[in-house]
Amino acid sequence: MSQSEGRVARVTFEDARERRVHSGGVELCVVELGDPGRPTVVLVHGYPDSKEVWSEVAAGLAGRFHVVLYDVRGHGRSTAPRPLRGGFALEKLTDDFLAVADAVSPDRPVHLVGHDWGSVQGWEFVTVPRTEGRIASFTSMSGPSLDHFGHWIRDRVRRPTPRRAAQLLGQGARSWYVYALHTPVLPELAWRGPLGRYWPRYLERAEKTPGGAYPTASLPRDAAHGAWLYRDNVRARLRGPRADAYAHVPVQLVTPLGDPFLSARLYDGLDRWAPRLTRRTLPAGHWIPRTRPDLLTAWITEFVTSVEDGRPGVPARGRYADRFGGQLVLVTGAGSGIGRATALAFAGAGARVVAVDRDAGAAVRTAELSRRAGAPEAWAEPADVSDQQAMEKLAEKVATAYGVVDVLVNNAGIGLSGSFLDTTAEDWRKVLDVNLWGVIHGCRLFGRQMAERGQGGHIVNIASAAAYQPSRALPAYSASKAAVLMLSECLRAELADRGIGVTAVCPGFVNTTITSTARFAGAGADEERRLRQRAARLYGLRNYPPEKVADVILRAVARNEAVVPVTPEARGTRLLARLSPRVSRALARVRPPL
């Protein structure tokens, strides 16, 4: 389903309709958004949250789905079981879920989404026989099945290797709070006292949650009651995990790689338990419903839609499909060479692609090829990156028509060769306008949108090995690329706090058409043609394909690398510049073989 198609009027959380559902002696507060005729998506919150943790995601989904949220028993505006002990057993939570599902969608199975303890519960719901036929799909985030976790621990204790022991210890250390919550009374006292007061600040500081209506005033009570989720279930299940905890629905697993409480290793063998599994990863902390609502909305929408369409989950595509599937990627200079290869590599990973180039026809072709390569959507946008107004218009159009860009690749660039004394002021202006100002405009406009959205992102700037290897033949080009490299480093430092990564990619000689359009300062038309042909021949002999650069770009974004030399000569000259600047300078004096 297209994002533009889906730019429906946004339903706000305040539009929600409320009802009360009775289940085993408690009264659950249930709210609904969106058209009840559409497929139902039930969002279940975690600990120590209430349904409000989902407010942004719910509003994002409500244009397309019937969205249902409820406060888990003892949380938010739902009543608590009496006595508390034993009142939070997974069997009772399953009763609650079924009561809600029957009330809001009696005739059709619902799509379940769980975060943290909402996901722990969700695993129970999708692996017990009595819910079969009532759930259509499950999206799990930051909350493993206690049964799977129990088996994960057993496997590592029974067949320890140094790596497995380290995984066990690592997760053991991350689970400190689980032990703490098993102590009697103290957690309740802490939550109703200083911890309850401090918690909102902790979330803002450590997790960078935006604040606002979440967490709600019920937090101390929710957290005190929720301690029983742990006490009633964790020890018993980890000691005796069920052997038949197989998911009977397609599962989408969303793993935030920076979760301080859960190691990504926990899900290593998950395909065994969930045969129809789609994996997603993102660089973020634990509270992704607050910090990454747009991406979650896109992933849930894509997954639910695919299941509704009768396809079992989202087909795995490309090596980085888990990371880039459904993300919005904009590439400048996408009409040729490295830019086109990069657009296609992201498309192959299932990203939505905006191909920007001053050559409109070439951009259209890249958009077409992107769709064929696997992009669910791709658009061509003609623009000259050196033109400030055109770039401002482009940024505005992209934001309104397609959304805020998740990954920006400032790739457009032109070649300029020739000695400094031969380089005219006009030559300088042209190369700086495209190679440096083009990158500045991209970073300024799309970087600002990313920062204002507050949900992270990544910027890739294509510099060059010429950024650090001086050369008598490339003073202007090298200066433009050195500026791009330093701009990237500075921006990386500035945007790190906002969860936005910045990478400078520095290729060496790559076989593209850059040689046939490069300007050779000081050369007449005939001489320039000869030099271009000769350069093209040499680059052809070197024959390093742009597809390899594209692969490195995707990897660099996935790993959030800072500076990435590509090709052996680019890596070699980088090392040289560090180890022996003298040799580097001597190399700069060698006349190029042109």
Q: Which residues are known catalytic residues?
A: 477
Q: Residue 10 carries which DSSP code?
A: P
How crowded is residue 495: how many other Cβ atoms within 10 Å of its Cβ?
20
Q: Is 403 in the site for ligand NAD (CB under 6 A)?
A: no
Q: Is 517 in the site for ligand NAD (CB under 6 A)?
A: yes
Give 32's strand partners.
17, 68
Taking CB under 6 A as the binding criterion, the range among 44-52, 74-82, 133-141, 506-514 that sits at the site for ligand NAD is: 506-514
Q: Is 445 in the site for ligand NAD (CB under 6 A)?
A: no
Nearest distance in Å: CB 385, ligand NAD: 4
Nearest distance in Å: CB 474, ligand NAD: 10
Q: Is 509 in the site for ligand NAD (CB under 6 A)?
A: yes
- For ligand NAD, the binding residues in 533-552 under the rule CB under 6 A are 546
Nearest distance in Å: CB 399, ligand NAD: 19
What is the rounded CA–CA span in Å between residue 48 and residue 188? 12
Binding test (CB under 6 A) with ligand NAD, winner from 55, 336, 370, 573: 336
Q: Residue 459 carries which DSSP code?
A: E
Q: Is 381 in the site for ligand NAD (CB under 6 A)?
A: no
DSSP 3-state of 27: strand
Tokens of 307: 């299941």
What is the rounded CA–CA span in Å between residue 93 and residue 121? 7
Tokens of 280: 């997603």
What is the rounded CA–CA span in Å between residue 38 and residue 33? 11
Q: Is 476 in the site for ligand NAD (CB under 6 A)?
A: no
Residue closer to ligand NAD by CB (options 252, 435) is 435
What's the one-letter identity of residue 428?
Answer: W
Q: Is 434 in the site for ligand NAD (CB under 6 A)?
A: yes
Binding test (CB under 6 A) with ligand NAD, winner from 507, 531, 556, 563: 507
Please name which of 507, 510, 505, 509 lies closest in space to residue 485, comparing C-alpha atoms. 505
What is the rounded CA–CA span in Å between residue 479 and residue 209? 40
Nearest distance in Å: CB 390, ligand NAD: 9
What's the one-letter identity of residue 55?
Answer: S
Nearest distance in Å: CB 58, ligand NAD: 39
What's the one-letter identity of residue 450?
Answer: M
With tokens 């505006």, the residue in question is 77
Residue closer to ligand NAD by CB (options 114, 442) is 442
Binding test (CB under 6 A) with ligand NAD, winner from 259, 302, 381, 384: 384
Residue closer to ligand NAD by CB (options 103, 463) is 463
Quote the radius of gyration of the chain (alpha carbons, Å): 27
What's the one-letter identity of residue 393?
Answer: K
Phi, psi of 252 (to 5 degrees): -110, 120
Taking CB under 6 A as the binding criterion, the range among 159-167, 260-268, 358-366, 488-496 that sits at the site for ligand NAD is: 358-366
Q: Is 510 in the site for ligand NAD (CB under 6 A)?
A: yes
Q: In this structure, are residues 280 and 254 in contact, taking their beta carbons and an 8 Å threshold?
A: yes
Binding test (CB under 6 A) with ligand NAD, winner from 284, 331, 414, 485: 414
Q: Is 512 in the site for ligand NAD (CB under 6 A)?
A: yes
Residue closer to ligand NAD by CB (options 209, 567) is 567
Q: Is 514 in the site for ligand NAD (CB under 6 A)?
A: yes
Residue closer to ligand NAD by CB (options 187, 546) is 546
CA-based angle 303:212:299, to the nearest 5? 10
Per-residue binding letters, 254-283, with ligand NAD (x by CB under 6 A): ------------------------------
Taking CB under 6 A as the binding criterion, the range among 19-27, 36-44, 316-324, 509-517 that sits at the site for ligand NAD is: 509-517
With residue 160 as reference, give the H or E element that holds it: none
What is the rounded CA–CA span in Å between residue 267 and residue 277? 11
Taking CB under 6 A as the binding criterion, the range among 111-119, 269-277, 416-424, 504-512 that sits at the site for ligand NAD is: 504-512
Q: Is 464 in the site for ligand NAD (CB under 6 A)?
A: yes
Q: Is 330 in the site for ligand NAD (CB under 6 A)?
A: no
Taking CB under 6 A as the binding criterion, the range among 211-219, 261-269, 329-337, 419-427 that sits at the site for ligand NAD is: 329-337
Q: In this structure, are residues 231 and 188 in contact, taking their beta carbons and an 8 Å threshold?
A: no
Q: In this structure, are residues 295 and 282 in contact, taking their beta carbons and an 8 Å threshold?
A: yes
DSSP 3-state of 417: strand
Taking CB under 6 A as the binding criterion, the range among 39-47, 382-390, 447-455, 555-563 that sits at the site for ligand NAD is: 382-390
Which residues, other chains included, contact 21 with Cβ-Cβ below 8 Å and sequence gap of 6+?
A: 27, 28, 30, 70, 99, 100, 103
Q: Is 338 in the site for ligand NAD (CB under 6 A)?
A: yes
Nearest distance in Å: CB 516, ligand NAD: 8
- Residue 457, Cβ density class (10 Å: 0-12 exposed, 13-18 middle, ≥19 buried): buried
Tokens of 251: 């599962």
What is the rounded CA–CA span in Å between residue 502 and residue 560? 7
What is the rounded CA–CA span in Å between residue 470 and residue 416? 14
Q: Is 443 in the site for ligand NAD (CB under 6 A)?
A: no
Q: Is 301 in the site for ligand NAD (CB under 6 A)?
A: no
Residue closer to ligand NAD by CB (options 241, 565) is 565
Residue numbers of the site for ligand NAD (CB under 6 A)? 332-333, 335-339, 357-359, 362, 384-386, 411-414, 434, 438, 462, 464, 507, 509-510, 512-514, 517, 546
